[in-house]
Structure 1
Amino acid sequence: MGTNGADDISGDGGDNRLDGGLGADRLTGRLGNDTYVVDNVGDVVVETRNAGHDTVLTSLHAYVLGAELEDLTFVGTGNLDATGNTLANVMTGGAGDDDLNGGRGTDTLRGGLGNDTYVVDHPSDVVEEAADAGFDTVETTLNYALGANVEGLLLRGTAALSGTGNSLANTLTGNGANNTLEGLGGDDTLLGKGGSDKLLGGDGADWLDGGTGDDNLRGGLGNDTYVVDSVTDLVSEANGDGVDTLRTSVSYTLGSGLENLIVTTSQAVTVTGNSLANVMTGSNGASTLAGLRGNDILTGGGGADTFVFGANFGKDTITDFASADVISFQDGLFTDFTDVVMHAVQVGSDVVITYNTANTITLQDYGVGLLNSGDFLFA
C-alpha cells in the first residue's frame, strides 16, 4: 500500500496486491497472479509476458489495459469506458452505462447493471448479461447472434453481415452493406440502413425499416409495421399473421396479407389497397387512395385528395371528404353527377352513395346538399 504521493511499488514472485494510493504511482507485479488498484490517471502498471494472470481494479471512468494484463474490473461509480489488449481479457463493468471493448483477443465482457455497450471483434468473444440489467447493445463487424439478456445489435464496417436477435424486444441495426437481420421472438425493431437488406421479424409486433436500397421485408406473426421508401421494396405477409401496417413515402400497392397503409410524405403519391378491409391514411399532400375490394376506411389527410373506386369496391368509408377532394368512379359505375345524386341519401350526419347492396360509399360528417359536379370524375 502506497501513500498519497507518487509511489514506486514492486511485488515479488507471489500473488501480490499493489495499491499505490492516491498519487500517480508505478506498480510492478513481477511473477504471480497480481492485482493492481488503479485510481489515478497517472498510475502505470508494469507486467512482463507469462508472469501470471493479472487483474486491474480501477475506479477511473476510462481505462486501457496495458500489455500483459489479462483482466479489468470496475470498482467505481458511474460509467466505464474500457479497452482491452491482444490477450484473452475478462472485463467487468459496474452499475453504470459501460462501454467495454476487449480488443483483439478472445474476451469475456460483463457489463453488469446499466445500459451497456459491448464491442465484439472476435468470433469467440463472450458477452455475459443478467436479466433486467438494462438495455444492452453489441457493436460488431462480424456475423453475430445475440446471447441471452442482450437487447441491441449494431453492425459496423462495410461488409455484408447477418445479425440475429433473441426472445427479447431487440433493436437490430445494419450498416451500409446488404445485411440480413432476423429478430426471432419479441417485439423487435429492425433497421437496415443502407444497402439492399433482408429483414425477418419473426414472432411479435415488429417494426421493419430497410432504409435506402431495394429491401425485402417479412414480419411474420404479430401486428407488424413496415417502413417503405422505394417502389422496389418488397413486403411479404401471410394472411392471418396479424394486423399489419405499411408506412410509405412513395406510391405503393399493398401486397396480400397487409391490412393498413399510412402515407408519410407531403408529396403527391398514389397508394392502392388489396382485397382485405384496408385502413388507408393519406398525408397533408395530394394523395390518391384506391382501396380496391374489401370494406375499406379511407382518410385523405389535409391535401386535395382523390378517392378511386372500381368494380366490386365493397362497403367503403371516407372519413374526411372535403370540398377540395375528388371521387373518381372507374369501370362505368356511374355515368354522371346526376346519376350519383340519385343514388345518394343522407343518413344521420353522413352521406351514403349506394351503387348496389354490396357496394356503398359513406362520406362521414358530410351533407348531400354539399355535393357538386366538381366532386366527381367518371371513367
Structure 2
Amino acid sequence: MTITTDVNTAFATEKTRQLDAVRNRAAAFQARIDRGEIRMVGADRYEVLTGWDQGEFFTVTRNTENEITEIIGAHGLDSRADGTIALYASSPAWHGLGQIIPGGTTDIDTVLREGGLDFTVTTVPALYRWGGELREHADQFHTVREDTGAPLGIVGRRYQAIQNRQGFEFLQELVGRFDVVWESAGVIKGGRRVFIAIRLPQTVAVDADGINDLVVPYVAVMNDHTGGGTFQCVVTPWRPVCGNTERFAVRDAVTRWAVRHTAGAINEIKEARRTLGLSVQYFEAFANEETALARTDIAVTDFHKVIADLWPLDDDATDSKKTNFAARLGAIDAEFRTEAERVGRTAYAAERAITGYLDHVAPRRPGKTMTEEIARATAALEGADDDLKSKAHKRLMLLTRA
C-alpha cells in the first residue's frame, strides 16, 4: 500500500507546533517574572532570584516579532577550541554544561583534556612604542596561552609559570592510592584561573549518635596564570545538604597551602603532600568540635551577640550602616531558623547559618567576565571568608565550655 503525504499539511502542522512552543516558552518566562523568580537587569539580560540558579545571569534572544527564541546562560566558564564549555565533572552540574563522565575518571590526561586545562603558558617580553620605535621592557613580561596566544597577565623577571599538568599531577598519587576519582576541573576568565578537585574517601559524621550530619572532604587545587595570584591547595569540608564550605583553624591543622610562581615552585609543591597528609587528623578534630557545637543549645540573644562580634556596629554608625546591619541580621536569622528546623536550636545551627549566609546570601560583586554564581564558588575555594568563619567557630566554641 502506498502512503502519500500532503506536504502543505505537514508544513502547516509543524509550523503550528513551533509557534505553540514559542508561545509556551514566552508564557512560562513571563510567569517566572510575575512570580518574582527572575528580573530584568538590562536589555534582554535577566537575573535569577530564587532556587539553585539564584544569582545566575542569562540573555534572551528574540526574533523580529519579539518572540523568545533562545535563553543563553552567562556561566562565566571558558570555552574549548571546539566551542564546548571548558568544564569536566563526574556528575552533571546545575547548568548542564561541560563534559560529564558519569562516575568520574582516574586518568589525569582525560581530566585535563575534557576540562580544557590541557594548555601550557609561556612568557613573552612586554613591548611599548616610543618615538615611533618598538622597545622592550627589560623587567616585565606577559603570560600568554601557547594554544591561542591569549594574554593572561603581566609578570616580572623572576616569574616562572607552573604548568597545569605540573601542578596537578601530584594529586594522581592520591587518586591511585585511595581509589578515588577526579571530581571536577575547569577554566575561568579565559584561562587566567584553572581549578581541579578530588573527593577524599572518608566521610565525616557530625554527632553520629544524634543529628548524624554528613560532611564530605575534598581537595581543591587552583592555579593562577595572571601573576597576581598563587598556586594553592585547599583541604575543605563540603556539606551536601547546603553546599557551603568551611575551613576553620582547628588546633594546628593545615588546611591551605600556597606557593608563588618561581623557579623553585615545582619542588615546593611536594610540600602539598604534607597538607594532604594532615587531612585525616584535621577532619577528626573538625568532627569532634562540630559535634560539641551540635550538643550545645543556644539562645537567640547569644546568637545575636556572636553576630555583633563578627560585624560590630558603632554607636555613631550612619543610617546606611544601620540599615545594612539590620538587613544582614535578618538574613542570618532566616538561615538560622531553617537550620534549627533541621538540626535543632544549637550552636551548630548557628554556625551553619553564618556560613550559609557568607556562601550563598552575602553580597558578592562578580567581575566583568564572571556571574555571581561563579564569583561565589571562586570566593569559597579561595577562602575569602575564612577569617570570619574561623572567628565565628571559635566564638561559638566558647559556649560549649560554659
| TM-score normalised by L of structure 1 | 0.22
- Structure number with higher helix proportion: 2
Quick one: higher RCO (CA 8 Å, sep 6+), 1 or 2? 2
- Rg larger for: 1
- Structure number with higher strand proportion: 1
| TM-score normalised by L of structure 2 | 0.21
